[in-house]
Structure 1
Amino acid sequence: MLTDFGLQDGYVAEMRGVVMSHDFEIRLVDITHEIAPQDVHGGAYVLSTVIERFPQGTVYLCVVDPGVGTARRPIVVRHRLGTFVGPDNGLFTPILGEDVVEVVEIVPERLGAVDVSRTFHGRDLFAPAAARAAVGANIHCLGNVVTDPIVLEGWDLVASGDGIQGRVLHIDRFGNAITNIPEQALEGRKGVLVKVGEHQLDDVAKTYGDVAQGQWLALFGSQRTLELSINGGNAAETLGIRPGDSVSVSWEG
């Protein structure tokens, strides 16, 4: 389960209760419920970091849904790695590609959902659909085929002959600004220059300890993408970096 609900309220428990009511043996694992409210890009990023770690066939119940109750579609995505249930708002951008088997739009009547809240599709649509998928239901039983699921803008890189432009996808708990610029894009490059806003660096470090305490740096994190950090500090707060900010990397050759 991945949501932006937090744990202060009972929203997560309600969803868990719905799933368990379908089958008490379904094993529920929390990815996180601390995605920033309405941060679809952040939710998509966190989802992208875990999907290779879970067993094939896992069902992912994901709700970061600022458009709940509008015309945005509730969907189920069957993928080589598992099944993904949630809103069609770009949250599933990381898995939309050649490994997608099929996508369907959930039809409430096929779930037996007759009293669907306009503000809590996580409980009334996504949780029961995920439970059905977890016990082996064919997703065609849940709705109608979709051929154009939403993909987030700005997820892909913009490349030029002597550089590349990406964006900050996520700020983690430590204040590291995590980008979509992959390590392989800089392999063998010399004279690398990293810019974000008015700040720039002329090198990419290997570890936080490569710079003095309190100094900012760029390095490749555990997801093999470029991160902007401060050794012993919070880069996002100190440098004023936010999700969506542009990050450019250039090189001499």
Structure 2
Amino acid sequence: MQLITLTTDFGSVYPAAMKGVILGINPQATIVDISHTIPHADIRAGAFALYSVVPYFPADTVHVAVVDPGVGTARNPIVISAGGHFFVGPDNGLMVPAASSLGYMQIFKITNFGLLGDVSATFHGRDVFARIGAYLSDGMPLEKIGETTIGHIHLDFGTVEVEADFISGEVIYVDDFGNIITNIKASDMLKKFNFKEQVRVFRNTMPFLATYGLARQGELLALIGSHGFLEIAVNRGSAAKMLKVECMDKVRIE
């Protein structure tokens, strides 16, 4: 396996150090950036980004994911094996939705610190996770990296309530277009509402449409995004800015 993805909240500069480490260990690795603009310390937003794209990568891909407000503390560094993929990062739930979507998870606590060399207390993305990801991509077996463990931190996208006249959930991600992505799945939304029906969300009435271009320019709309969740958008605009909505805000569809 030679393919490695990176998902972090590091912004610029720091991901380059991770790539340098990876290529120093496995010069043949192909590195794909999923995102380095996850909102800082927003573990669930990082989990959603990873969850959204992992199904489109081939088996044997190594996914290095680091949104790690607990860096340097007692939280464990882990590798998750699931569905032929490998996930490397902190044990804070970040990788669980993506890994569990692929099937049975086997979790390894990283214990072979001889593979790491000097480890900064504040940059495990470079000194731990990038290195372990590179060794995995170069064919190192998991048994040489760590030991199996049962316990891990769970994370999901929250609870959705489906009632007779409304659905409630919460915002789990705001993308670069300003689209507000909720944890309400298409299957739940389509049980209650039909396309072209008017719905009320965030104190605004808007149409529930199949795609952005069916709304007028500047108009709010609700739709099912390509990720399979309900989102609130503005045709050629930012719904998040217009509505002043952020991750973890509650949402109610009526």
Tell me if TM exceeds 0.5.
yes
The equivalent position to 1:228 in structure 2, one of 219, 226, 232, is 232
2:155 is aligned with 1:152: yes
What is the TM-score when the length of structure 1 is the normalising length? 0.88
Distance 2:221 2:161 in 1: 22
The equivalent position to 1:54 in structure 2, one of 40, 54, 57, is 57
Show the counterpart of 1:215: 219
Q: Give the percent of matched residue pairs that are identical in Structure 1 and Structure 2.
A: 39
Show the counterpart of 2:106: 102
Amino acid across the alignment from 1:39: D
The equivalent position to 1:181 in structure 2, one of 167, 174, 184, is 184
Write out aligned runs for 1:25-64 (5 A): 25-64=28-67
The equivalent position to 2:249 in structure 1, one of 217, 231, 245, is 245
2:48 is aligned with 1:19: no
SS at match of 2:64: strand
Distance 1:139 1:110 in 2: 14
Shift of 1:66: 1.1
Amino acid across the alignment from 1:150: I
Shift of 1:115: 2.0
SS at match of 2:56: coil
What is the TM-score when the length of structure 2 is the normalising length? 0.88
- Aligned residues of 1:108 and 1:125 also touching (Cα < 8 A): no
Distance 1:209 1:85 in 2: 39
The equivalent position to 1:5 in structure 2, one of 7, 10, 29, is 10
Shift of 1:158: 2.7
The equivalent position to 2:125 in structure 1, one of 114, 122, 126, is 122
Are the structure 2 counterparts of residues 203 and 62 from structure 1 closer, same or farther at C-alpha, using a change threshold of 3 Å?
Answer: same
Of the structure 1 ranges 58-67 and 133-142, higher mean CA displacement relative to structure 2 is found in: 133-142
Q: Which runs of 4 or more aligned residues in structure 1 lie more than 6 Å from their structure 2 counterparts after TM superposition? A: none
Show the counterpart of 2:143: 140
Of the structure 1 ranges 214-223 and 97-106, higher mean CA displacement relative to structure 2 is found in: 97-106
How many residue pairs get aligned? The number is 245
Of the structure 1 ranges 93-102 and 168-177, higher mean CA displacement relative to structure 2 is found in: 93-102
SS at match of 1:30: strand
Shift of 1:200: 4.0
Of the structure 1 ranges 144-153 and 222-231, higher mean CA displacement relative to structure 2 is found in: 144-153
Residue deviations 1:10-58 (CA, integer Å, cap 9, x gap): x212111111111211111111212122121111111111111111110
- Aligned residues of 1:201 and 1:218 also touching (Cα < 8 A): no
Distance 1:109 1:156 in 2: 35
What RMSD, in angstroms, separates the aligned Cα atoms of the two structures? 2.1
- Aligned residues of 1:217 and 1:228 also touching (Cα < 8 A): yes
Show the counterpart of 2:3: none
Distance 2:206 2:242 in 1: 19
Distance 1:60 1:29 in 2: 9
Are the structure 2 counterparts of residues 83 and 195 from structure 1 closer, same or farther at C-alpha, using a change threshold of 3 Å?
Answer: farther
